A and B are shown apart, each in its own frame.
Chain A
């Protein structure tokens, strides 16, 4: 692994701010070097090219929404960042993605270490059938990030960050699968935070949740932005408009447009973007 691995963002330990959603930051922008740098990235399943010449950067500590019609390669892109696509035998790639300055696809890359630094939240809540505590402690325990006696503190911190602590603090030893769908998804977010990642990938995290649970997760994304860089794939354009600072519009494997969220949703530069966000296709 090469070059600069930036020091990790310190854990948020101060008093919690109130969860009032702010409007998408119009002034978002010059907040530091890119957290993710996509460099002419192509991706293939067999002979079918699903991602074409992607080149863009993602700001540190911002929320970037990836939108686009089904099958446009949104999820594939997300899974390319933590190399979860490696599981598919016919997958090929060209180009590279840099996470915090280090290459994802260099031959010397330690994939396990990469996945530790890049957390992921999936479409459907997928807690392990073990206790709530063990769910959150899974990553740090596996990767021996902290000594065993510090695990309870870490678990509490992650559950607090995921706004779940108050609901589960009295039943940490109960199975995580017994929680409601929304709680399960926040548990999965807490589990991803357990590894103290630099980057958080969310693959339609609210698509299986009801509106109230969705709202909670969206508020949570707002909070987490203070500590983490977040990339969220979503089918829900209101959600993209609500939670993100930047929006990228994918279509048929290409990045059509990438800009501040407000610009994308008010004055898109590209006709296809406008057609999609106004519901004319997709």
Chain B
């Protein structure tokens, strides 16, 4: 008999227990409500931001449409605006930064994970991480007073003499230029690319290294043929993360890039980026159309960086699924 009645047991209400459960859950509910409110605020703010950018740029969107992206004229007096030089400058300065920063930070990461003596691994990683804490205006000042004089006096002339057959390294040397901005960007994104690559390399299982070594690979061959390929999608994520930062960086770039609405083949020529243009012109913009065009630029920049960051998360999530170490890096 008892066996038969047992299945009904769970449906029987147990008043005392449920009362105490309710009391406990009231605190839970308040707590949950507060947290939910906090969690909801973020997406709402984001949505509001997009909405504001969209509303602010309505005037420009209505007048120029998608042609805004491909048009090169930027004439606040005639109220004709096109963002192509800005988009071009943003992308080019970021590509220059990546070209310099990626090999450097990947090399440092590989060195720190695979070759460096144990005692210097942590300190060096920490010091490079500190680079990320320096305000970008400080980088900008350093660029103006230290980097540009060096570039103008020796690096640029050297590049022009040795690689001058490339259109990239031709033309007059001013100092403030696409290349100067790219170099400062490279220094600024290096800590991010380095530390994420380092985390991803650390997440490569030791058995992979041992497998390669046991097959007669040297340390170097094991790293190049096994460890780096194993970590490649995580490293790609690190690179895209760096790209995302380079695209949006404003202050240091504004101080070093020269701020000219022009497209030049030479890296010695000044240029402009989306972020720099917004920062420079927003306070001085008088016409509504000018303001609206700047908001439109901001909207495009927002879309660009969101796409880049989403790509980075996706890549890192893919590589970190097994280990969890890659996602911890973000």
Contact = CB atoms under 8 A, between A and B. Distances in A.
Contacts of B207: 122, 124, 126
A112 B211 contact: no
Given A128-B226, A129-B229, A129-B230, A143 B211 contact: no
B211 A188 contact: yes
B319 to A, nearest CB: 10
- Interface residue tally of chain A, by bracket? 20 to 34
B221 interface: yes
A258 interface: no
Contacts of B210: 84, 87, 120, 122, 126
A115 B211 contact: no
A195 interface: yes
A89 B118 contact: yes
Interface string A94-124: 0000000000000000001101101110101
B16 interface: no
Interface stretch (B68-76, B153-161, B170-178, B212-220): B212-220
B213 A119 contact: no
A192 interface: yes
B112 to A, nearest CB: 16
A142 B207 CA distance: 18
A192 B215 contact: yes
A112 B216 contact: yes
A34 interface: no
B221 A84 contact: no
B225 interface: yes
A116 B211 contact: no
Contact of B218 (A112, A118, A195): A112
B287 interface: no
Interface of A: 82, 84, 87, 89, 112-113, 115-116, 118-120, 122, 124, 126-130, 138-139, 142-143, 188, 191-192, 194-195
29 contacts: A84-B213, A84-B214, A87-B210, A87-B213, A112-B216, A112-B217, A113-B216, A115-B214, A115-B216, A116-B216, A119-B215, A120-B214, A122-B207, A126-B207, A126-B208, A127-B211, A128-B230, A129-B229, A130-B229, A138-B225, A142-B215, A142-B217, A142-B225, A143-B216, A188-B211, A191-B211, A192-B214, A192-B215, A195-B215
Interface of B: 118, 205, 207-208, 210-218, 221, 225-226, 229-230
